[in-house]
């Protein structure tokens, strides 16, 4: 049994998808479709940069969606990959939109519009420099939450934004409170790494962004996915169309339960985890969480050929 995984923000790099763009006209058409929907040359930013433009959240989100969807279509239409043995599609944060598009729940052009607006709303929810995110390494989630509970949070915000993998969690909140939390963890000899992000994602500071996006999400048509989509919010599959919109809105300010999602898929018989899109961040998280899982990251034509050979075994 297999699962398809789609990356979120942080996996982007200039030139991602270039080999597919140069070799397949369907990829050129997908890139062109994104440009036309958004009314600017997203494809140029993806393929040529500059990196500063690609790193802007409003550009990053549709860029990763576009590349992920393009690779999926190459797998499906150019290499005729058999998806009958795929039980789940799951995306990390923004990647959930890629999963919905590839499972035919959401139209690609609608998704490109939504993630562009999502990126803008999330960027503008908190003034630059006022928020902060850090990675916490080597600590258990319950311990991290206990440490957060010892802080005086009458005014400040410090919350678990991502439970990514065994021993890897992300904290999000206002800069002052997260800095205080970093000092507390340092005293306990727990390693933290500040993240280069433009806003404190997946915490209650994003509720204004969620409010803006609820109006936009609710006017878009969603269908029941052809594959089971794992929600970041619940770590379980979404079984009703009306719940897709509700969970996408909640996802903006809720913790991403990625570790729990991976464990759930594994407990339901998944042994092959295939990451589609730029980078191999998600396969790394799977390896940390599920010992012995078969992981594949698809970033090139050679990767696809290798995957097809491995799945035949």
- Residues noted as catalytic: 93, 202
Residues 6+ positions from 166 with CB-CB distance below 8 Å: 259, 288, 289
Phi, psi of 187 (to 5 degrees): -65, -30
Q: Is residue 232 within 8 Å of residue 258, measured between CB atoms?
A: yes
Tokens of 259: 């570790």
User: Taking Cα atoms as reference points, which of 287, 257, 291 lies closest to residue 275?
Assistant: 287
Q: Is residue 9 within 8 Å of residue 61, measured between CB atoms?
A: yes
User: What's the CA gap between 258 and 85, in Å, rounded?
Assistant: 22
User: What's the CA gap between 303 and 257, in Å, rounded?
Assistant: 28
Q: Is residue 71 within 8 Å of residue 276, measured between CB atoms?
A: yes
User: Taking Cα atoms as reference points, which of 264, 263, 247, 267 lies closest to residue 255?
Assistant: 247
Helix residue ranges per DSSP H, the chain = 18-23, 25-38, 42-48, 51-55, 57-73, 95-102, 108-125, 141-149, 175-187, 207-217, 241-251, 258-267, 281-289, 301-312
């Amino acid at each position: 049994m297999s699962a398809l995984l789609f990356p979120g923000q942080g996996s982007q790099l200039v030139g991602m998808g270039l080999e597919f763009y140069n070799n397949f006209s369907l990829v050129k058409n997908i890139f062109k479709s994104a440009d036309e929907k958004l009314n600017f040359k997203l494809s140029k930013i993806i393929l040529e940069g500059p990196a500063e433009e690609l790193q802007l959240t409003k550009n990053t989100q549709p860029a990763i969606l576009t590349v992920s969807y393009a690779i999926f279509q190459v797998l499906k239409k150019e290499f005729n990959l058999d998806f009958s043995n795929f039980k789940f599609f799951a995306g990390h944060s923004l990647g959930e939109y890629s999963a919905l598009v590839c499972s035919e729940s959401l139209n690609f052009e609608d998704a490109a519009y939504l993630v562009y607006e999502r990126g803008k709303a999330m960027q503008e929810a908190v003034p630059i420099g006022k928020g902060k995110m850090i990675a916490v390494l080597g600590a258990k989630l319950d311990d991290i939450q206990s440490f957060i509970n010892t802080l005086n949070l009458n005014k400040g915000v410090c919350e678990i934004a991502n439970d990514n993998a065994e021993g890897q969690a992300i904290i999000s909140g206002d800069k002052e409170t997260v800095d205080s939390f970093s000092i507390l963890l340092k005293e306990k000899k727990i390693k933290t790494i500040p993240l280069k992000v433009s806003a404190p994602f997946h915490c209650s500071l994003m509720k204004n962004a969620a409010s803006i996006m609820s109006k936009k999400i609710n006017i878009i048509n969603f269908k029941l996915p052809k594959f089971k989509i794992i929600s970041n919010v619940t770590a379980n599959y979404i079984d009703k169309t009306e719940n897709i919109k509700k969970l996408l809105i909640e996802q903006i300010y809720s913790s991403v339960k990625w570790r729990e999602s991976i464990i759930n898929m594994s407990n339901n018989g998944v042994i092959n985890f295939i990451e589609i899109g730029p980078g191999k961040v998600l396969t790394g998280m799977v390896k940390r969480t599920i010992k012995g899982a078969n992981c594949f990251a698809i970033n090139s034509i050679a990767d696809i050929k290798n995957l097809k050979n491995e799945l035949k075994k």
